[in-house]
Amino acid sequence: MDLRDRLAEAARGHGVPGAAVAVWHDGELHEAATGVLNTVTGVEATTDSVFQVGSTTKVWTAALVMQLVADGLVKLDKPVGTYLPDFAFGGVTVRQLLSHTAGFDGDVFEDTGRGDDCLEKFLGHLGTAGRVHEPGELFSYCNAGYCVLGALVARLRGGTWEQAVRERLLDPLGATQAALFGEEAALFRVSAGHIGPDATVYPRWQMPRSNGPAGATMCLAPRELVAFGRTLAAGGLAPNGKRLLPEESVAAMLTPQVHVPGGGGALAERWGLGVELFGWGAYGHDGGTPGQSTYWRIVPEADFVLAMSGNGGSFAGLIADVARPVIEEATGLTVPGPPLPPQVLEPVDGAPYAGSYQGPQLGYEVAAAEDGLDVTLIPGPLMESMGATRSTTRYARLDGESFIAVEAEDGRHDVVTFVLRDGRAAYLHNGRAVARV
Amino acid sequence: MAGAMGQRLAELIAQYEVPGSALAYWHQGELHEFAAGTLNVDTGVEATTDALYQIGSITKVWTATLIMQQVEQGRLTLDTPVIEVLPEFKVADPEATKNTTIRHLLSHTSGIDGDQFIDTGRGDDCVEKYVAACATLAQNHPLGVTQSYCNSGFVFAGRVLERLTGKRWDDVLREGICEPLGLTHTWTLPEDVLRFRAAMGHEDGKTVPVWGLMRSVGPAGLICARPADVVAFGRAHLGGDLLRDPSAMWEPQVDIPNPYTLGKQWGIGWILDEWSGHRVISHGGNTIGQHAMLWVVPDTGTVVCVTANGGKSGAFTRAVATELFAELDGLTVPPSPTPPETPVDVDVRPYAGVYERAGSRITLSVDDDGGARVRLEATGELASLHEPQEADFVPVEENLFVFRPPGAGDWLAAVFFDLADGTRYMHMGARATPRIS
């Protein structure tokens, strides 16, 4: 079955309004698109269409930072405050921001406006962000850290983060199907996000510019992510022969920096400088904005890159039915699927885990239960504003200190992992570390 | 023609090389909507009646309406000096700084250079910054003595609204007009426009390099709308939905020195004309490769809006109006002047010279055998977007000439007149331009 039929069938089956995929394999680019970009307008998705690529943007921001390092303007292990004296957590290093180990609240999505001063204002706003863990202590996914890195790029390059992305990455890469602003996206067929079971068009097309460097604003056709992936696989040399990054910079990005507690499920087992490093032999990143999702994997050994975007429905279904089988057939590797709860539940000693955990954006109550743990999510104001409510879920032991929700929600079983200190859980980890109180 | 308009619109866009167009009109209690062609020749997305076009300066009537709402609420009068509301208001001429009134702004009689397209960024402070950047703006003519089209005046009016309401112009528009009229397809920012089909401008059959104008000129021309929403706005001026007395905006404020182009007089925001003995109120708009027209005939209640995203768009919309108004209301659209069949004997030399105002230089030269050429150049920030144009300059009678720039469908009229101080002016394209050498 060819790529187009496969994508079309999977999108139909999983309620995805529109999707596009690009695959580099055997020295050739294969592309397919299906469905519509927006269920209200009915404009058809094409391989030229641009989708919001969400947090895959973090790898672009990381590349801009590595260019600063290569140019001698930034040292990875210097405190960020050396370069941004007005940054509230100035003691953390550039490396810690790149590897999500800085330890301040990463889920700050303050909208500081459309102006070129948005990142400067965002930096000022971070003075109110909460502390989650000690710098360098452990991995905790940090969006706001990438906004700080964007501000670093903007200030040291003397322009905006968008100018740097455009002039230092997109243009040399020869990327044409790329937009960083709405007024740029208006040149293309452009995807809108769809949410909920009825795939309703999300009322706000774009997230705030202040979160751009973390993934709020960039729109790409999948082929441009493939070109960037090929660039990383080639040690920084773009397919058109232009050098975006020195080889040693890319090598540093791909060098494991930190282990991800409970990694191997929704997130990779390890993180490099901006890049997710998957144990099965690939690297890349995932991305999501309200109602849009992107999956991006590079398999360097096989000269293989895949980028896929969708705009609603079950993107996990699209990964299962398109991305994973295509990667497996092309590379011979086995791509693990999302974890499932064990068939037989075993008794759990809840004592090390039971207690209260509180982060800046949410809290948990964990209690011992029959054959597992009862985990109660207590959403903070931001999560509540997005529809989250207090709820208790039964988790069974998955592996080690990782526990998996017995029941699936939206087609997936949530996983939480406890980080133990002296035999007792110090953090509940869901991708972000949430400290015990 | 009315019934067959769908077919006719397709024929007319082909004839005038317009990539895509939409037409909506209200006639005898019914709304009619048509669309033809493509929104963007690069993407090939089909034009529909729901697609949003940049309606450009038609926006000025919306901004004027918002001011009139404030006038009706007693917050200011048409004769309130701008400086009373905006103490920081300053242009080069002290007399204009002190005595320019809201009425001058809304009737294009302030004489302030109007074509300052200053980009003050994407932020919510862009209008405020624009006003601050106008302190050195010169006069096209002394305050109040004649009419010259003035974009900057409408940005000042937008800032007056922001000051009176404490809100962004975009929000004043939304709350004052869009929400009360239930306009779902009328937006100002690209990130809102992108939830819909959106037209791209074209020049010489190709998409223009940038989608839209800088945000700072929003109150003078940044609304994007589908024609049906613009028709609803026009209809609201025949009733009481927006203003207690909308006809106050049709009161003639000034005679247009060149009555052959847009109309014979200016009201408040509206251009006033008379076709077959009936009052017609109208406004047009031009942005980067996009054009729109709105006509309202109060006597018959007919309201028409037509949009075009390139080609010989001015001649196209004139052709649509000519056919449609003859059919609907039996009205004759006055033809624009054309070269006389028998060349007339007018000495061109007294008119020759360089005419200049901010953003534009017009050079009228006479060759040895008495023939004349006109050269039009954009200067300032828009210079890079427009190539200089040259054309033969053909006398029709004393003080009236016509010319046809390359690629234009219609002949354009230029009228010469002298102010009391003896300065010679050329009035063309709704602007009065003084001779400087």
Q: Where are the domains of chain A?
A: 1-336, 355-436
Q: What is the pLDDT of residues A257-267, one digit of tens each?
A: 999 999 988 89
Q: What are phi and psi of A254, to 5 degrees?
A: -95, 0
Which residue of A183, A189, A192 is in closest CB contact with B45? A189
Instruction: Indicate the pTM of the whole model.
Output: 0.94
Task: Using alpha carbons only, give the angle A271, A274, A278 rounded to the nearest 5 degrees.
Answer: 35
Residue B432 to chain A, least CA–CA distance (Å) = 33
What is the Cα–Cα distance from A327 to A275, expressed in whole angstroms? 19
pLDDT at B2 over 70: no
Q: What is the pLDDT of residues B212-247, one digit of tens each?
A: 999 999 999 999 999 999 999 999 999 999 999 999
Q: What is the pLDDT of residues B251-310, one digit of tens each?
A: 999 999 999 999 999 999 999 999 999 999 999 999 999 999 999 999 999 999 999 999
What is residue B5's predicted lDDT score, i.e. its pLDDT? Answer: 81
**C-beta atoms of A192 and B195 within 8 A:** yes
Find, in chain A, the residue whose alpha carbon is nearest to that of B46.
Answer: A43
Average per-residue pLDDT for chain A: 96
Q: Taking CB atoms and an 8 Å cutoff, what residues of chain B touch A209?
A: 122
**C-beta atoms of B189 and A114 within 8 A:** yes
Residue percentage of chain B with pLDDT more than 90: 90
Residue A187 to chain B, least CA–CA distance (Å) = 7
Could you tell me the pLDDT band of residue A1, with boundaries at 50, 70 and 90? Answer: low
pLDDT at B369 over 90: no
What is the Cα–Cα distance from A321 to A122, expressed in whole angstroms? 39
Q: What is the pLDDT of residues B52-77, one digit of tens each?
A: 999 999 999 999 999 999 999 999 99
pLDDT at A289 over 70: yes
- The answer, for A48 touching chain B at a CB cutoff of 8 Å, is yes
**C-beta atoms of A203 and B195 within 8 A:** yes
pLDDT at B1 over 70: no
Residue percentage of chain A with pLDDT more than 90: 94
**CA A247, A248, A253, A254 torsion-angle sign:** positive
The average pLDDT across B356-367 equals: 91
What is residue B115's predicted lDDT score, i.e. its pLDDT? Answer: 86
Assess whether B282 carries a catalytic annotation. Answer: no
Task: Using alpha carbons only, give the angle A390, A393, A396 rounded to the nearest 5 degrees.
Answer: 155
* Strands lying side by side in the sheet with B271-275: B30-37, B20-27, B302-308, B291-297, B278-286, B271-275, B265-266, B254-255
**C-beta atoms of A205 and B195 within 8 A:** yes
What is residue A276's predicted lDDT score, i.e. its pLDDT? Answer: 98
CATH no. for A355-436 = 2.40.128
What is residue B3's predicted lDDT score, i.e. its pLDDT? Answer: 57
Q: How many CA atoms lie within 13 A of A67 on its CB side?
A: 22
Which residue of B123, B200, B207 is in closest CB contact with A113? B123
pLDDT at B391 over 90: yes
**C-beta atoms of B190 and A43 within 8 A:** no
Q: Which of the following CATH numbers is that of domain B1-335: 3.30.70.260, 3.40.50.300, 3.40.710.10, 3.40.1010.10? A: 3.40.710.10
Query: Which of A55, A191, A210, A293 is an active site residue?
Result: A55
Q: What is the pLDDT of residues B97-108, one digit of tens each?
A: 999 999 999 999
Q: Could you state, in order of their start, the residue ranges of all structural domains in chain B?
A: 1-335, 349-434
Q: What is the pLDDT of residues A308-335, one digit of tens each?
A: 999 999 999 999 999 999 999 999 999 9
**C-beta atoms of B211 and A118 within 8 A:** no
pLDDT at A386 over 80: no
Residues B266, B272: contact at Cβ < 8 Å? yes
ipTM entry: 0.92
Q: What is the pLDDT of residues A349-384, one digit of tens each?
A: 999 999 999 998 899 999 999 899 999 999 998 888
- The answer, for A182 touching chain B at a CB cutoff of 8 Å, is yes
Q: How many CA atoms lie within 13 A of B423 on its CB side?
A: 19
What is residue A211's predicted lDDT score, i.e. its pLDDT? Answer: 97
Q: Which of the following CATH numbers is that of domain A1-336: 3.30.365.10, 3.90.280.10, 3.40.920.10, 3.40.710.10? A: 3.40.710.10
B-facing residues of A in 228-257 (CB < 8 A) are: none
| B313, two tokens | 């768009």
Residue A42 to chain B, least CA–CA distance (Å) = 9
| B216, two tokens | 């700072």
- The answer, for B315 touching chain A at a CB cutoff of 8 Å, is no
The average pLDDT across B148-156 equals: 97
The average pLDDT across B187-194 equals: 97
